[in-house]
Amino acid sequence: MNWQDIFATRMGRMKASEIRELLKLLDQPDIISFAGGIPDPALFPVQAFQGAMTDALSPANSSAALQYSVSEGYGPLRDWIVDEMTALGVPCTRDNILITSGSQQALDYLGKLLLSPNDTALIGWPTYLGALGAFNAYEPNYDQLIPRGNRSAADYAQTAKDKGGQVKFAYASVDFANPTGETLDRTARESILDLAETLDIAVIEDSAYQALRYDGDPVPPMLALEVERKGSIDTCRTLYCGSFSKTLAPGLRVGWVCGASEVISQMVLMKQAADLHSATLNQMAINTVARALFADHTANLRRVYRVRRDTMLAALQEHMPEGVTWTKPEGGMFVWVTLPKNIDGGELLRHALETQKLAFVPGQAFFADRSGANTLRLAYSLADEAQINEGMQRLGAAIRDLA
C-alpha cells in the first residue's frame, strides 16, 4: 500500500527538526558544536536524583511511584509550583497547575486546544522552532507578532479572516528567548496583553529560561501582569508554560502549565486521552530535588553559564568580521548572530563543518516564512571557555571565506 495516500493532511506540515538532526554531531569528538541548546550534563544534580529515586522506590513510596496516577500531576509537586508561581506574582492553587511531559507537550496541547485549520497564531519572527513544530500539526496560518509595533488589532483580525480563520493566540518566549536570547521588557509585555484583550485571544507565555537570568532586573511574567489587572488568575487569558528541563533534568521530561482553571480542566482531558499522566516516579523525584536544592542549584547554573555567555560575547567581539552583529542576552543559553545579507546561514554551516569542524543552527529554521537566511543561533551552555574561544575564531574564518 502507499502510506502517503492515507496519511492525514496535517503530516504535510510536520517536518524533521533541524536542531534534532544537528544534535547527532555531538557524538563526533572533532566537532565543536554550538548547535544544541541543552544543559551541561556535568551540572546535573546526579547525587540528589539518586537519593530521590531511591526514596521514591522505598517500600513506603513505591506503590505510588509505580502505579497509575491522576492526570493533573503529582500533588506535592503541583504544590511546590504553586509556591513558585505565587513568588513570581501569580497567586494560584493546584487547580491552576497541570504537569506535562516537558513544556513541549504543553505547547502541543495548547495548539490542539486552540487551533482549528486556517486559524492564525501570532508568533515572533524568528520564534522557537519547537513551537512551530507543535503548532504545525493543527494546520494554522502564522502572522508576525511585533510587541513594539503599531499594527492595529483590526488589521490582524482582517488578515486572519482573509485566510479563512481567526486569530486564536499570541505566543511569546519572553525571557532570554530561544533563539534570539532577547527579553521583552515590561512595556512590550503589556502591549501583547493589550492586543490580546482587544482581539479576545489567548496568550501563551513560554518561560523555559525564566530562572536563568545573569544580570539586569527581573521583569514580571505576563501572567503576573495580567493578574495585577484582573485580580484573579481564573479571569486571565495568559497561559504560562514552565519547565524543569533547563534547570534540573531534561531527560525526566517534567514541565507544567499555569493558567485559568477552566483551561486547565480542558487540558486534563487531553492528557487523559494522550498518555493518562506524566511518569509519577519522575514527578516524585523532581519534587524531592526541587524542594531540597532548586534555589542553590539554579544559582550555580547562573554562575557557570554567565561566564560562558561573557566568554562568547568577548570572543565574538574579537573574531567576527565587519558587518556581523549579535544579540547580548541577559540570561538563557543563546546568542543570535546576523550575517551580511549576501551570506546564507545554511551554506555557512556546510562550509564550517567541512573546513572548520564547527556546528551551529542556521537561523532560517526559526522563521515561519523561511526568511532570515542570513542569521544563525549559537548556544553557549554546553561549551567550556576554551571551546568557545576556538569556536568563534573558526566561525570568523568561515565567514571570511564566504564573504
pLDDT tens track for 104-122: 999 999 999 999 999 999 9
- DSSP 8-state code for residue 299: H
pLDDT score of 339: 98
pLDDT (average), residues 11-17: 72
pLDDT score of 9: 80
Residue 402 pLDDT level (bands cut at 50, 70, 90): very high
pLDDT score of 74: 98
pLDDT (average), residues 20-44: 81
pLDDT score of 22: 63
Phi, psi of 119 (to 5 degrees): -70, 165
Least confident segment among 15-29, 94-108, 220-234, 341-355: 15-29
Residue 29 pLDDT level (bands cut at 50, 70, 90): confident
pLDDT score of 37: 87
pLDDT (average), residues 230-247: 98
Residue type for position 173? S
C-alpha cell at 220: 514580571
pLDDT (average), residues 2-10: 84
Distance CA 381, CA 197 (A): 37
Q: Is residue 385 within 8 Å of residue 311, measured between CB atoms? A: yes
pLDDT (average), residues 26-51: 90
Q: 25 pLDDT exceeds 80?
A: no
pLDDT (average), residues 122-142: 96
pLDDT score of 288: 98
Q: Is 44 exposed, middle or buried (0-12, 13-18, 19+ CB in 10 A)?
A: middle
Domain spanning 3-45+295-402 has what CATH number? 3.90.1150.10
- For the chain, the average pLDDT equals 95
Q: Is residue 372 within 8 Å of residue 354, measured between CB atoms? A: no
Distance CA 54, CA 391 (A): 41
Phi, psi of 382 (to 5 degrees): -100, -10
Domain residue ranges in the chain = 3-45+295-402, 47-292
pLDDT score of 232: 97
CATH topology assigned to domain 47-292: Aspartate Aminotransferase; domain 2 (3.40.640)
pLDDT tens digits, one per residue of 293-333: 999 999 999 999 999 999 999 999 999 999 999 999 999 99
Residue 388 bridge partners (DSSP): none
Residue 141 bridge partners (DSSP): 120
C-alpha cell at 10: 496535517
Strand order in the sheet with 325-326: 325-326, 334-338, 375-379, 361-362
> CA nearest 19: which of 112, 133, 145?
133
Q: 56 pLDDT exceeds 80?
A: yes
Q: Is residue 177 within 8 Å of residue 124, measured between CB atoms? A: yes
> CA nearest 210: which of 124, 103, 314, 122?
103
pLDDT (average), residues 197-202: 98
In three-state secondary structure terms, 352 is: helix
C-alpha cell at 323: 558587518
Residue type for position 368? A
Q: Is residue 137 within 8 Å of residue 90, measured between CB atoms? A: no
Q: 54 pLDDT exceeds 90?
A: yes
pLDDT (average), residues 218-238: 98
Residue type for position 246? K
Q: 16 pLDDT exceeds 80?
A: no
Tell me the CA distances in angstroms from 63 to 53, 55, 57, 67, 279, one per residue in order: 13, 12, 8, 6, 13
Give CA angle at 291 (283, 109), nearest 5°: 35
Distance CA 350, CA 337 (A): 17
Residue 18 pLDDT level (bands cut at 50, 70, 90): low
pLDDT score of 17: 64
pLDDT score of 10: 81
Q: Indicate if 47-292 has the same CATH topology as 3-45+295-402.
A: no
Distance CA 288, CA 282 (A): 10
pLDDT score of 226: 98
Residue type for position 168? K
